[in-house]
Amino acid sequence: MPKRGWTVAVPPVFHGYRAAWLRGDVPAGITVAAYLVPQVMAYAGVAGLPPVVGLWAALPAMVLYTLSGSSRLLSVGPESTTALMTAVAVGPLAVGDPARYAALSAALAVVVGLLCLVAWAVRLGFLADLLSRPVLVGYLAGVALIMIVDQLPRLTGTSGSGSGFFPQLFSFLHHLGDVHWPTAVLAAGCLALLFVLPLLWRPLPGPLVVLALATAVVAGFALDENHGISVIGAVPTGLPGFALPDPSDYPDLVLPAFGVLLVGYSDVVLTARAFARHDDPHPLAANRELLALGASNIGAGVLHGFPVSSSASRTALADSAGARTQA
């Protein structure tokens, strides 16, 4: 009887765990963490939030998914699509108030989580069988283009305006003559390194290396003071207090939360299936993924984060680095 109780208490992905698997899980965990830190800070910027919010959202999402998810390898946390959808949904409601913006972003994560739990309770996981991979890939490709255009002003130090793809693109082209060349050169160097480093040594955490090098160059040559390159500034230490967002904000966020749920859950299931193996000790459970995604989003919202989903890039990195489980 005690043995059965212990089995129930252990997350499904750890049932039958072998000590030998640590040889793959430990270095893979370090590699993914090194990749995750700069990535989620950047995604927080895409969502219109301070960089540290990406770290706040990642921590509970990773832990809660491990405790409730069914995928052996899936990495859950801030990612590009939900970050961009957060900015689109929250921006008009916040009306330029940063504190209101942060509160609404956290509330959106909680609403997404609650909707996921409702979908799990009524067993809507079967809808995963109806998801079309070409549609999702096309959608994500469109999101990638929107993100690129949205980040061009930051990469070149120019000003931009507009709220859609073509208005933003035309605005950027109109201000090409205002390019801040020190910013553009630094950005181009970072992008080049991000592409080259994996070719030199695949396990190398390229984003962390680039972040460290760029920080050292900016600090060593005082590029922010001497050449006007913008910097993030001080990042707060520690964790914020646990708090549920104001429930009065929830009704206005239900509709955009449905959109985040649909895209986020599609990404979770399709990514998890892509990395599932025939020898996995437990099969992927589509309905359980709704529970895991709901718990992860509620955790992110309670810790003042924003909506989260799966990350194909971090999952692929874990796989290539030899990860065996969520450990």
Six token digits for residue 179: 């390019």
Q: What is the pLDDT of residue 10?
A: 62
Alpha-helical regions (H) of 157-180:
165-174
**Cα–Cα distance, 55 to 30 (Å, whole number):** 16
Buried b (16+ CB within 10 A) or exposed e, 178-198: ebbebbeebbeebeebeeebe
Does residue 153 sit in helix, strand or coil?
helix
pLDDT of residue 59: 95
Q: What is the pLDDT of residues 82-107, one digit of tens each?
A: 999 999 999 999 988 999 999 999 99
pTM of the model: 0.81
pLDDT of residue 135: 73
DSSP 3-state of 76 = strand
Say how far apart CA 129 and CA 286 lie, in whole Å: 9
C-alpha span between 153 and 171 (Å, rounded): 9
Q: What is the pLDDT of residue 265?
A: 93
Amino acid at 246: D
What is the per-residue pLDDT for 244? Answer: 85
pLDDT at site 235: 81
Q: Is the dihedral of CA 146, 152, 153, 155 positive or negative?
A: positive
DSSP, res 69: -
pLDDT of residue 8: 45
Per-residue pLDDT of the chain (327 residues; tens, 9 = 90+): 444 444 445 666 677 778 888 888 888 898 888 889 888 998 999 899 999 999 999 999 999 999 999 898 999 999 988 999 999 999 999 988 999 999 999 999 999 999 999 999 999 888 777 777 787 678 777 877 887 888 898 899 998 777 678 888 999 999 999 999 999 999 999 999 989 988 888 767 777 788 889 989 999 999 999 998 988 877 888 888 888 888 888 999 999 999 999 989 988 988 888 888 877 767 888 899 999 999 999 999 999 999 999 998 899 888 887 888 888
